[in-house]
Amino acid sequence: MLLLLLLLLLLLLLLLLLLLLLLLLLLLLLLLLLLLLLLLLYYYYYYYYYYYYYYYTTTTTTTTTTTSTTTTSTTTTSTTPPPPPPPPPRLLLLLLLLLPLLLLPPLLLLLLLLLLPLLLLLLLLLLLLLLPLLLLLLLLLLLLLLLLLLLLLLLLLLLLLLLLQLLLLLLLLLLLLLLLPLLLLLLLLLLLHHHHHHHHSQ
């Protein structure tokens, strides 16, 4: 019983560790998705918003025409956007993308190392729970084996008795065969004696 309780406690601890590890994996995946989303937003702003929307909406052309009797002047002014922000360094982006991917294999290995003892503990618990049933089955098997042995012994005894009976019958037959000439001889002697006695009496 104490061993069963200890195994249950170990099982609960392993389950808690497994849940924590799964939460870490989930957080890591969320972090990876967040990094990808930020990267996409940045490139959207950098390539689309800045160069397309901001540039074409802030560039204006103003034309001023002055008419007089002698001169006509046209003035054109245009406003250009400030220089674009520098793109993020590719090495930094690569590291940010590779960091969750580099953390995934050790976490998966740790998950596997936690799952193996968990499975072993579950097997031990099942064995402990099924141990009375297994013992009962073993006892039933032993009883069946004993019954089979007893039946075999009875059959052997019957065979021995039959063999003894056959031997006795054979012995009786042999005795009869051996005694038969003696009996015949005795019978002849008796007949001769009776005949001789009858002859003297006449």
Q: Where in the chain are the domains?
A: 2-201
* Phi, psi of 139, rounded to the nearest 5 degrees: -65, -40
Q: Is the predicted pLDDT of residue 84 greater than 70, yes or no? A: no
Q: How many residues does the chain have?
A: 202
Q: How confident is the model at residue 154 (pLDDT cuts 50, 70, 90)?
A: very high
Residue 58: C-alpha distances to residues 13, 29, 53, 80 (Å)? 63, 40, 8, 7
pLDDT single digits (tens) 64-76 = 444 444 444 444 4
pLDDT single digits (tens) 163-178 = 998 999 999 888 888 8
